[in-house]
Amino acid sequence: MTNTMIDPQSYQRLTFARRGRMIEVVLAQVETSNAVDGQMHTELARVFEELAADSQSDIIIISGAGGVFSSGSDPAWLKRVAEGAEPPPSAEDAKRIVYGLINLPKPIIAKVRGPCIGLAAIMVLLCDAVFADRSAQFADPHVRAGLAAGNGGAIVWPLIVGPVNAKRLLLSGDAIGAGEAQRLGLVSDLIDAGQLDSAVDAYAMRLAGGALTAIRNTKDVVNMHLRHWADQILDKGLGAQLSNIDTADHREAVIAFFEKRAPKFTGS
């Protein structure tokens, strides 16, 4: 087997911690509550492929620094994109994030504290287990930014909570707390405050000591459901989302955020 290890120095927005054959990937942009900007989006597009090739790990954990998983998209990044100062996220990178998680052969466990918003929520829901403490909140508020929820949310939310509940949440962009998220099936394990790290580590070690080939094969078969729907939906969803970047409603959402007022959408 080739001795391949992920290079932490090649990342600016993510950090890595190894414990035995486990590796924890941390969204680490604390000053913006781990908001996703262009740099983080680019790094997320490759990290899951590189984790798959990492020969020194069998179990992956993903979390956020500073007691927050991620506050969603960085408004300053959205403003730069809307003004043409920075290119929008590429559809290819968005697809690499979704398929990188679906095709990652190693079990990946999400460890969620605080807000888990937008792309972060999509990534978490593509993980194999979701451990959250009672501070966790989940939302996909793309529509509140005048964007279609096309970069994976339209795939994974309906599969977990059903089409009716998914539309109720995706069409409003409303956030739900950890208890409601567990009731709907978004959270596999709801953990009391102060116990999240130990609960995740215990489960990760249990998997690490298991029949890893059988575990990986089981994950691959179960993820055929996700792969099928990603193949059917993702291109259309990304096309819809990226086309919305040029709309008046998206520009209004960005302007309203910085003017600290409610947006006045016109449907255009």
3-state secondary structure 222-250: HCHHHHHHHHHHHHHHHHHHHHHCCCHHH
Report pLDDT digits (tens) over 248-262. Answer: 999 999 999 999 999
- The CA-based diameter of the chain, rounded to the nearest angstrom, is 57
Is residue 188 in some structural domain?
Answer: yes
Is residue 139 in some structural domain?
Answer: yes
Is residue 36 in some structural domain?
Answer: yes
Is residue 18 in some structural domain?
Answer: yes
Q: Quote the number of domains for the chain.
A: 1
Is residue 264 in some structural domain?
Answer: no
Average pLDDT over residues 53-80: 96
For 200, counting Cβ atoms within 10 Å of its Cβ (0-12 exposed, 13-18 middle, 19+ buried), the class is buried
Helix (H, G, I), strand (E, B) or coil at 47: helix
> Taking the model in full, what pTM does it have?
0.95
Contact in structure between 119 and 142 (CB atoms under 8 Å): no
Residue 183 belongs to a domain with what CATH number? 3.90.226.10
Is residue 56 in some structural domain?
Answer: yes
Average pLDDT over residues 164-169: 97
Is residue 203 in some structural domain?
Answer: no
99 φ, ψ to 5°? Answer: -70, -30
Mean pLDDT of the chain: 96
Q: What is the pLDDT of residue 193?
A: 85
Sheet bearing 14-19, strands edge to edge: 14-19, 22-27, 59-64, 108-112, 129-133, 189-191
Q: Quick one: CA dihedral 219, 221, 223, 227, positive or negative?
A: positive
Report pLDDT digits (tens) over 102-114. Answer: 999 999 999 999 9
Domain that holds residue 67: 8-195+209-258
For residue 114, give the DSSP letter.
Answer: S
